[in-house]
Amino acid sequence: MSALDENRMKINDIDAELVHLFEKRMSAVRGILAYKEEHGLPVFDAAREDENIRRTAEMLKDPSMRGYFEDWYRYTMKVSKDYQKDLLEEHNGEEGR
């Protein structure tokens, strides 16, 4: 097996883990939305988002990846906010995505 094939297999394994973690994360997002709805809180919390980006980016072992990680993490949070907004629309009788 070539180095290319070996690395592709590694990525396939990582992608399978990411799918599991994505579903787990989105399940937690549903719980957060339920709390926000119950307490009249907005979906977007800029201070919380900025803190999450800072805190998680500091976990990187390779600081040269920080900008790429922050882009990816911001997109992850955008997907979470979009999901929350779609769920709110569904709860209000409107169609989601």
Pairwise pLDDT comparison (97 vs 34), residue with the higher score: 34
Q: Which fold has domain 3-91?
A: Chorismate Mutase Domain, subunit A (1.20.59)
Domains of the chain by residue range: 3-91
Averaged pLDDT, 8-25: 98
pLDDT of residue 91: 84
DSSP state of 63: G
DSSP per residue, 33-95? HHHHHHHT--S--HHHHHHHHHHHHTT-S-GGGHHHHHHHHHHHHHHHHHHHHHHHHHHTT--
| Amino acid, res. 94 | E
* 43-94 pLDDT tens trace: 999 999 999 999 999 999 999 999 999 999 999 999 999 999 999 999 888 5
pLDDT of residue 51: 97
Query: What token pair was written down for 61?
Result: 């072992």
The answer to whether residues 86 and 96 touch, using CB atoms and an 8 Å cutoff, is yes
